[in-house]
Amino acid sequence: MRKCPKCKARLSPFYFKTTCKYCDTDLLYYNFDERLEQDAQKAAAQEEKIRQLLNKLPFRKNKQ
């Protein structure tokens, strides 16, 4: 059962509109910013790992 993230109304699994029929919230993009933020944090963590890995390589040490 799908639920509206804002008003918690139950929506039929066969209800395919992207907005809640009760409160008109956009179901696809509600919390979208939050998800973007999480993705950004993951990406930053990944980048940090790669940077640490690169710092272990000898050719990087010579340049810096």
The answer to whether residues 6 and 25 touch, using CB atoms and an 8 Å cutoff, is yes
* Residue whose CB is less far from Zn ion, 17 or 61: 17
Q: CA distances (Å), 55 to each of 41, 49, 60, in order?
A: 21, 10, 6
Span from 22-30, 31-39, 41-49, 55-63 in contact with Zn ion (CB under 5 A):
22-30
| Residue 40 lies near Zn ion (rule: CB under 5 A) | no
| Residue 22 lies near Zn ion (rule: CB under 5 A) | yes
| Residue 23 lies near Zn ion (rule: CB under 5 A) | yes
